[in-house]
Amino acid sequence: MTLLVTCVKTPDEWEKARAIRMQVFIHEDTFDEEGEFDADDVHPSALHFIGTDVEQNKVVAAAR
């Protein structure tokens, strides 16, 4: 797999990053949804990244 990591710049990319975080932290690790998303997510200095599997053209990773 070739992973292309890019900075989130569009609302669509943000939704993909959010979906990955929901799947991993809330559904798989059973963290509380309230604690997963906070004010730091929308802080002007926050940087969000997505990792896209180039061969599948699918977002498979996210980081803040």
Give pLDDT tens digits for 17-58.
Answer: 999 988 987 777 777 766 667 777 778 888 999 999 999 999
Q: Given this model, what pLDDT does residue 13 score?
A: 96
pTM of the model: 0.78
**Residue-range domain boundaries for the chain:** 3-63
Q: How far apart are CA 32 and CA 61, in angstroms?
A: 20
Helices (H), 1-64: 11-21, 33-36, 39-42
CATH 3.30.540.10 fits 3-63, yes or no: no
- The type of residue at 64 is R
Q: How far apart are CA 59 and CA 9, in angstroms?
A: 14
**Tokens 């180039």 identify what position?**
54
